[in-house]
Structure 1
Amino acid sequence: MTSKNTKRFEDVRPGEVLPELAIPITVSLITGGAIATRDYFPGHHDLEAARELGSPHIFMNILTTNGLVQRFVEEWAGPEARFLSLKIKLGAPNYPGDCMTFSGEVTHQDAATRSLEVTLKGKNSMGNHVTGTVALVLP
């Protein structure tokens, strides 16, 4: 559990920029994420199989990306934030040896429900690996 405080709804405004988060892409991150999510597709852990598919290396699965998106937003929002939805679209693959940097901003706020929307992207050396939106409620 983190000791970080949760943001309060009253302290957030549309246009607020989230702090960037850089994630080094490693073989361990990719294979560990695939195993943890029970995704045994060979392209996520077997270099030769990935190459047979036309890929230069193993590549990250969507469930690992999904978890990293949640980490990015939760590190900003805090442990008491409640996620309502997480919608993502994949782009360029994440390969070992690269780095994905998340950025995002608050794009909508609803006082009646104390909810807000964060629009985000995770970019690597080839472009956007992931883009999407996260809706959450703050205390």
Structure 2
Amino acid sequence: MTTEAGPTWVGDVLAPLEIEITRTLVVAGAIASRDYQDVHHDAEAARQKGSPDIFMNILTTNGLVGRYITDHFGSRAVLRRVAIRLGAPNHPGDTMVLTGVVEDVRGDTATVRVVGANSLGNHVTGTVTVTVPRTATGATPEAPATTPEARP
């Protein structure tokens, strides 16, 4: 698989992405995804339900994971499948660090294992399948071997 950044191989590690978790990010993400649950915008309601503060919703996390992948693979990247599971909550004042490792490459499609961790542990884990289509000119990027052993 060839991207704007060059060939992609099984085992490639994506550069980490640090995301500051702000109150604005949490609330804006909830509103943008039409998730009006009070735990995403009302700190007192969140505390009454056992949380120390408001926390990020899954749709915002899903969007941030998608951004992480498309930022790495470039403007032609198309997300084919995002399968994530939430763990520790993302609260304002924390930082989530997204990391990824390429697990599989088949033609112009790769599967990436993604983890987003904060000070409480793993906020999100999962896999993303992404395709980087051939160029608009119809050129076919040379498909690299998919294992580190087969690299030139």
Query: TM-score surpassing 0.5?
Result: yes
- Structure number with larger C-alpha Rg: 2
- The one-letter amino acid paired with 2:122 is N
Aligned to 1:36: 32
2:67 is equivalent to residue 49 of structure 1: no
2:138 is the alignment partner of 1:124? no
Q: Residue 128 of structure 2 aligns with which residue?
A: 134
Aligned pair in 2 of structure 1 residues 82, 9: CA closer, same or farther (>3 Å)?
Answer: farther
Count matched residues: 132
What is the aligned partner in structure 2 of residue 3 from structure 1? none
**Helix, strand or coil: the match of 2:3?**
coil
Q: Which runs of 4+ in 1 moved over 4 A?
A: none
Structure 2 CA distance for partners of 1:10 and 1:88, relative to 1, 3 Å? same
Report the counterpart of residue 78 of structure 2 in structure 1.
82
**Does the 8 Å CA contact 1:9/1:138 hold for their aligned counterparts?**
no
Find the aligned partners of 2:16 and 2:121 in 1 and give their Cα distance. Answer: 16
Q: Which SS does the other structure have where 2:55 is aligned?
A: coil
Structure 2 unmatched runs, 5+? 134-152
Q: Which amino acid aligns with 1:59?
A: F
- Measured after TM superposition, the shift of residue 39 of structure 1 is 0.4
In 1: Cα distance, 2:79 partner to 2:4 partner: 14
- Counterpart in the other structure of 2:101: 105
- Counterpart Cα distance in 2 of 1:42 and 1:120: 28
**Structure 1 position 10, deviation (Å):** 6.9
Superposed CA deviations along residues 51-92 of structure 1, whole A, max 9, x for unmatched, are 110100000000000000001111100110111100000000
Once residues 131 and 4 of structure 2 are traced to their aligned partners in structure 1, the CA distance between those partners, rounded to angstroms, is: 9
Q: CA deviation at 1:136?
A: 1.1
TM value normalised by structure 1: 0.91
Aligned to 1:66, the other structure's residue is in SS state helix
Gaps of 5+ in 1: 1-5
What do you get for the CA RMSD once the two structures are aligned? 1.5
